[in-house]
Amino acid sequence: MDLIQKVRNKERLTQEEGEALYDLDLYTLGELADEIRRKKYGKKSYFNINRHINPTNVCADICKFCAYSASRKNPNQYTMSHDEILSIVENSVKNGAKEMHIVSAHNPNDGVEWYMGAFRKIKEQFPDLHVKAMTAAEIDFLTRQYGLSYDEVLDMMIENGVDSMPGGGAEIFDEDVREYLCKGKVTSDQWIEIHKKWHERGKESNATMLFGHVETRAHRIDHMIRLRNLQDQTGGFNAFIPLVYQRDNNFLKVTEFPSGQEILKTYAISRIMLDNIPHIKAYWVTASINLALIAQEFGADDLDGTIEKESIQSAAGAKSSHGMDLDDFVAMIKNSGFEPIERDSLYNELRTY
Ligand code: V47
């Protein structure tokens, strides 16, 4: 059957069909993705008022694409104390933040309690704040470093107040590309296993894909299908976030970068392939705000949030170190023809602007 008809009939696409979507012209692909998006959400575009905190850049692992961890290219090591983290949280809550998105490097110096104690103290002081923390890569690191099991770390996270897991550390699941990008870090099967265990505890998470470096289109489709398979089993993913590779200050040798068209196609294809993941997030930090706003017409229904400060992608060149002013964000979504909806971390609607 014709591929376009198959998408319109809501039939599930195979690896080969997913790859073939890239051969469609941009407008056809955008129209197909927008049809799906509009049926689900109309013109609504979701965002939240959040704060990203990256409490340490000291890392035991080496990922070629990373400009954030302390290394030859970034010799300025830092690790925040719990008091420093708490004072950031306090200030952000005063400014209206409802979610703390906390992602660290893999710091071998300060013990599990440095990670868990921070969450516990935040929750003790701010019980209503949503703590989204600990990528599968951090969890895997803690198990390796301290001889714990995944179950033990996941249970500790729940006991200490982590509400949901971010989607980081997924990179690209293809084993050969992964070996080249980030050998020694959590494997693809382990990443999937950790999210499965988290979902089995009744908890929700997100999933990312880092693209636009050395991977092929086929690797992206393979990545999406592995996520789709897990989602069939657990239903625990809220959002899929294609992260566009940022090129500065890192050790990955990339000669060709994706065009705006290729990035938009990837958003649209995510919407089509991931028929069971509700939200596609155009993370403005890596897409740039202008392309993220256009991505709303190519299947994306979520733009992440105001962020306030961000250290991982801004270290690699993204213009996100100071987040986004709320009024500007809302105005930009409106001016682009969409309806800004403030959501909580689990996509309950809080306010229509
Ligand atoms: O996993 C590292 C990525 C991720 C670069 O769950 C880079 O809602 C681009 O996971 N260029 C961490 N990306 C951030 C993350 C995230 C972000 C926003 C929302 C959510 C969510 C999760 O940052 C890492 C890695 O893939 N990253 N270096 C770079 N040079």
Domain span at 210: 3-352
Q: What is the pLDDT of residue 311?
A: 86
Mutation probe of ligand 1 site: the residue of 210, 245, 254, 311 with most atoms within 8 A of C-beta: 210
Burial pattern 98-125, b for ≥16 Cβ within 10 A else e, equals bbbbbbbbbbeeeebebbbebbbbbbee
List the residue whose alpha carbon is closest to atom 21 of ligand 1. Answer: 166
Distance (angstroms) between ligand 1 centre and the Cα of 196 equals: 20
Q: What is the pLDDT of residue 72?
A: 74
pLDDT in tens, 137-164: 999 999 999 999 999 999 999 999 999 9
Give dist(CA 118, CA 135) in Å, integer: 15
Q: What is the pLDDT of residue 116?
A: 97
Q: Give the predicted TM-score (pTM) of the model.
A: 0.97
Q: What is the pLDDT of residue 319?
A: 83
- The rounded average pLDDT for each run of 10 residues, N- to C-terminus, in the chain (353 residues) is 93 98 97 98 97 94 92 85 97 95 94 96 97 98 97 98 98 98 97 98 98 97 98 98 94 92 98 98 95 98 92 86 91 98 97 94
- Nearest atom of ligand 1 to the alpha carbon of 207: 6
Distance (angstroms) between ligand 1 centre and the Cα of 245 equals: 9
CA angle 78, 135, 214 (to 5 degrees): 90
Q: Is the CB of 241 under 6 A from ligand 1?
A: yes
Task: Read off the CATH number of the domain in which 279 is found.
Answer: 3.20.20.70
- Nearest atom of ligand 1 to the alpha carbon of 167: 6
pLDDT in tens, 79-126: 999 999 999 999 999 999 999 999 999 999 989 999 999 999 999 999
Q: What is the pLDDT of residue 1?
A: 62
pLDDT in tens, 298-322: 999 999 999 988 888 888 988 877 8
List the residue whose alpha carbon is closest to atom 10 of ligand 1. Answer: 168
Q: What is the pLDDT of residue 227?
A: 98
Strand partners for 47: 342
Q: What is the pLDDT of residue 308?
A: 86
How many independent structural domains does the chain possess?
1
Mutation probe of ligand 1 site: the residue of 54, 243, 250, 310 with most atoms within 8 A of C-beta: 243
Q: How far is CA 194 from the centre of its chain?
A: 16
List the residue whose alpha carbon is closest to atom 12 of ligand 1. Answer: 168
Q: What are phi and psi of 250, to 5 degrees?
A: -135, -175
Q: Which residues contact 26 (CB under 8 A, 6 or more apart)?
A: 261, 264, 265
Query: Is 261 within 8 Å of 25 (Cβ atoms)?
Result: no
Q: How far is CA 267 from the centre of its chain?
A: 13
Q: Is the CB of 171 under 6 A from ligand 1?
A: yes
